[in-house]
Structure 1
Amino acid sequence: MGSLSVLLKESWSFVERPDRLAENFYARMFLADPALRDLFPITMDVQRSRLLQAIVHAVQTVDDPEAFGAYLGALGRDHRKFHVLPEQYITVGRCLIAALREACSTQWTIAHEQAWQDAYAAISVKMITAAAADRDNPPYWHAEVVKHERRTPDIAVLTVRPLQPYPYRAGQYVSVECQYHPRLWRVFSIANAPRADGLMQFHVRAVGAGFVSSALVWKAKPGDMLRLGAPIGTMSLDRTSTRDVVCVAGGTGLAPLKSLIEELATFNRTRWVHLFFGVRSRADLYDLGALNQLAGRHSWLSVVPSLSEDPGAPGCEQGTAAEVVARRGPWQEHDFFVSGSPAMVRSTLSTLSVLGIPRQRIRYDTLTSTVTGA
């Protein structure tokens, strides 16, 4: 896979305007198969960025067959909600490669063409196979909002009840569609470990022009129905590990880390867990009360809140979560989980690299930007 990976990453580096690549791709695809247009929302701005994130993630994981296969398998199961036909993957691949060829211009070579054809063939086969193997599950799940708590002016915690059993693992995320914006799916992390009563929580921040996140924060109410796609993500616990754990959360990136801590609470007796929860101001500590209650029940858990723009708050460290982690330690023998905005994740990974944390002990989802609210 080495030479293939090099060619894929090299050709991607030739793309100067990814936004134009995405526009070109969708225009070609809808022209080639107009029926595909009905699968997508009327407003395509955010959808185009989702495509780019998926491409970048696939390119980044092609050297890791296990991660590559797991990601594409989850993506194939999730895409069942669109009712995509196997033959439509051919159209998508042809249009994607044509758009890449045009974006790379004279730097595109026959070798790049063949690399993308081979990579897309592998991608489509894995996605189609995973979707077919998942046919005993519904393409999506209906879920009722049973509780809606506005924790801050722009953050809400939603509790939902799927109408059918929804199998997932702590740390995963899910694509969500609400009645206020049909066909507009956004992904959010599940904020609790699987429970006997089937209830699930989402921590949602209304972000900028995020139609779905804004609707879930400001419009959603008990009784509303949501649709949930298949669970995605590999940021799960290794139960065979005996190392202590460090969780680094930024904002609503807290959600999947809280679910992992809840899972640990069902079996952990020996591993110390340190949760660093970084936000801008004390008003953003939307779930601190629940975290302190959790720490009060489990002596192995410590919670360290930090504020980057609100100095002098009692009980809080000053700086980002990553900066606070850097002031403590040593951490070389710990397992790390990181969740937050793309900038927060990049900054934290950089800090952990400086601290000498082995990369194989750091777990995070590269699609964090879609998880934390949009």
Structure 2
Amino acid sequence: MGDLGRLLKESWSLVEEHQDKVAGYFYARIFLSYPDLRDLFPVHMDVQRSRLLNAIVTAVQSIDDADKFTAYLRGLGRDHRKFHVEPEHYEVVGGALIEAMRVHAGEQWCVEYDQAWADAYAKIASVMLQGAESDNSNPPYWYAEVVAHERRATDISVFTVQPMQPLDFRAGQYVSIECPRIQPRLWRPYSIANAPRRDNTLEFHVRAVGAGWVSSALVRRLEVGDMIRLAAPMGTMNLDRRSTRDTVFVAGGTGLAPIKSLLEELTRYNRTRWVHVFVGARNREDLYDLPELNRLAARYPWLSVVTACSDDPTYPGEQGDISDVVARYGPWSEHDFFVSGSGPMVKATLKTLTELQVPSIRVKYDSFSDL
């Protein structure tokens, strides 16, 4: 680890236990100094309060991995165009971040930490601005009309939208969604559940999570004819067409969405690779897309589907957490893996794959919650 990376992680450890206070001070400093910037953020800051801070910390923690650092930040810069972020805003955010950390680190904070964060943030801002500038040929976001909306379970909906302009993406990527009619200025990331299509439509699978402002709106209040906004596609959980290895997809709940996208791409060209899909859910109702998966398996002889329920003792298929079910099959050491679902599900599956000696370089994963 270089000196910069060491200083960043060392100084972050001083405030890590006080992230909520750091985030609160960070936003208060921004809004008090520049009240006009408040309009860039949602009315409800409960979730947003930690999002920007977490994004910066994630970038800082990968600063010694040049490829990961650059790819993550260029994507983040493209994505932040949806907030109408201007170059001068980066300086405001950087100053507020360093001041918030300095205040909450106490006497152990030193001038070396101050300089390390200033240098790191300058790199972050530079790469994000490059990412934003590289996307200037596209709009900051796309308007899309809801053309189909179906409740598949008590808290799960599948809906399809038609963008007003073509939106280029790769199978396995995700976009942030905003519902201006219902929850303006609140954006949440959701995976696209299909590969690029000639008609440019996009399908999404969404579960209403607790009191989730956006997920609940998308499941319970979104209607055909509504207009939503989509930010620039992000994510690197994509297929490598050069690989000849057989493939395993592991999905939990609506984590099936990007897996469906990758499967759709495979149906267009795959002839030689065996593909195994493992789908886990709490109960049979949560296996909301099982008929379509079975249809695909019947049509393509190279595809097999295994489903499991963790909290449904009467389910006739596999029982238990999907990570444990995967371990019962195999061997898997020569396969490519794609994992998508909740943070705990992804974490458990990655642990299982490590125990099964699957090389980490062959594992791609997607999770929108903390691992």
Whether these two folds match at TM > 0.5 is: yes
User: Unmatched 5+ residue regions in structure 1?
Assistant: none
Instruction: Name 2:253's counterpart in structure 1.
Output: 251
- The yes-or-no answer on 1:53 pairing with 2:34 is no
Residue 182 of structure 1 aligns to a residue whose secondary structure is strand
Distance change >3 Å, CA 270–CA 322, structure 1 → 2: same
Per the TM alignment, residue 280 of structure 1 is displaced from its structure 2 partner at its CA by 0.6
- The yes-or-no answer on 1:330 pairing with 2:331 is yes
**CA deviations over 1:48-69 (Å, ceiling 9, x no partner):** 1322431342134323211211
- Segment of structure 1 superposing worse, 290-299 or 196-205: 290-299
Cα pair 2:5 2:63 within 8 Å, conserved: yes
Instruction: Name 2:82's counterpart in structure 1.
Output: 81
Distance change >3 Å, CA 99–CA 277, structure 1 → 2: same
Instruction: Provide the aligned C-alpha RMSD in A.
Output: 1.4
Question: 1:290-309 alignment to 2 at 5 Å?
Answer: 290-309=292-311
Residue 368 of structure 1 aligns to a residue whose secondary structure is coil
Distance change >3 Å, CA 263–CA 53, structure 1 → 2: farther
- Segment of structure 1 superposing worse, 302-311 or 54-63: 54-63
**CA deviations over 1:200-251 (Å, ceiling 9, x no partner):** 0010111111111111101111100000010111111111111111111111
Per the TM alignment, residue 112 of structure 1 is displaced from its structure 2 partner at its CA by 2.4
Question: 1:148-227 alignment to 2 at 5 Å?
Answer: 148-178=149-179, 179-227=181-229
C-alpha distance in structure 2 between counterparts of 1:356 and 1:104, whole Å: 40
Distance change >3 Å, CA 305–CA 102, structure 1 → 2: same
Distance change >3 Å, CA 103–CA 241, structure 1 → 2: farther
Per the TM alignment, residue 265 of structure 1 is displaced from its structure 2 partner at its CA by 1.3
Per the TM alignment, residue 175 of structure 1 is displaced from its structure 2 partner at its CA by 0.6
Cα pair 1:339 1:368 within 8 Å, conserved: no
Distance change >3 Å, CA 2–CA 361, structure 1 → 2: farther
Per the TM alignment, residue 5 of structure 1 is displaced from its structure 2 partner at its CA by 2.4
Distance change >3 Å, CA 8–CA 221, structure 1 → 2: same
Instruction: Name 1:6's counterpart in structure 2.
Output: 6
Residue 185 of structure 2 aligns to a residue whose secondary structure is coil
Instruction: Name 1:115's counterpart in structure 2.
Output: 116
Per the TM alignment, residue 144 of structure 1 is displaced from its structure 2 partner at its CA by 0.3
Residue 143 of structure 1 aligns to a residue whose secondary structure is strand
C-alpha distance in structure 1 between counterparts of 2:278 and 2:128, whole Å: 36
Residue 356 of structure 1 aligns to a residue whose secondary structure is coil
Task: Give the residue type in structure 2 aligned to 1:171.
Answer: G
Per the TM alignment, residue 104 of structure 1 is displaced from its structure 2 partner at its CA by 2.3
**CA deviations over 1:320-361 (Å, ceiling 9, x no partner):** 111111111111111111111111111111111111111111
C-alpha distance in structure 2 between counterparts of 1:344 and 1:10, whole Å: 30
C-alpha distance in structure 2 between counterparts of 1:104 and 1:302, whole Å: 53
Distance change >3 Å, CA 3–CA 352, structure 1 → 2: farther
Instruction: Name 1:285's counterpart in structure 2.
Output: 287
- The yes-or-no answer on 1:229 pairing with 2:231 is yes
Per the TM alignment, residue 368 of structure 1 is displaced from its structure 2 partner at its CA by 1.8
Task: Give the residue type in structure 1 aligned to 2:239.
Answer: L
Residue 170 of structure 2 aligns to a residue whose secondary structure is coil
Per the TM alignment, residue 115 of structure 1 is displaced from its structure 2 partner at its CA by 2.1
Task: Give the residue type in structure 2 aligned to 1:78.
Answer: D
Per the TM alignment, residue 270 of structure 1 is displaced from its structure 2 partner at its CA by 1.0
C-alpha distance in structure 1 between counterparts of 2:270 and 2:116, whole Å: 45
C-alpha distance in structure 1 between counterparts of 2:341 and 2:287, whole Å: 14
C-alpha distance in structure 1 between counterparts of 2:291 and 2:8, whole Å: 47
Instruction: Name 1:143's counterpart in structure 2.
Output: 144
Distance change >3 Å, CA 247–CA 91, structure 1 → 2: same
Residue 73 of structure 1 aligns to a residue whose secondary structure is helix
C-alpha distance in structure 2 between counterparts of 1:52 and 1:339, whole Å: 24
Q: Which has the higher contact order (CA 8 A, sep 6+)?
A: 1
Task: Give the residue type in structure 1 aligned to 2:170.
Answer: R
C-alpha distance in structure 2 between counterparts of 1:12 and 1:72, whole Å: 19
What is the total number of aligned residue pairs between the two structures? 368
Task: Give the residue type in structure 1 aligned to 2:167.
Answer: Y
Residue 145 of structure 1 aligns to a residue whose secondary structure is strand
- Segment of structure 1 superposing worse, 10-19 or 169-178: 10-19
Per the TM alignment, residue 97 of structure 1 is displaced from its structure 2 partner at its CA by 1.3
Cα pair 2:189 2:368 within 8 Å, conserved: no
Instruction: Name 2:42's counterpart in structure 1.
Output: 41
Cα pair 2:8 2:117 within 8 Å, conserved: yes
C-alpha distance in structure 1 between counterparts of 2:230 and 2:36, whole Å: 23
- Segment of structure 1 superposing worse, 210-219 or 44-53: 44-53
**CA deviations over 1:253-278 (Å, ceiling 9, x no partner):** 11111111111111111111111111
- The yes-or-no answer on 1:240 pairing with 2:242 is yes
- Segment of structure 1 superposing worse, 293-302 or 59-68: 59-68
Residue 139 of structure 1 aligns to a residue whose secondary structure is coil
C-alpha distance in structure 2 between counterparts of 1:327 and 1:86, whole Å: 52
**CA deviations over 1:10-54 (Å, ceiling 9, x no partner):** 322322121111111111111121111100011100101322431
Task: Give the residue type in structure 2 aligned to 1:168.
Answer: F
Question: 1:309-328 alignment to 2 at 5 Å?
Answer: 309-314=311-316, 316-328=317-329
Q: What TM-score do the two structures reach when normalised by structure 1?
A: 0.95
C-alpha distance in structure 2 between counterparts of 1:56 and 1:293, whole Å: 43
C-alpha distance in structure 2 between counterparts of 1:268 and 1:122, whole Å: 41
Distance change >3 Å, CA 229–CA 353, structure 1 → 2: same
Question: 1:255-274 alignment to 2 at 5 Å?
Answer: 255-274=257-276
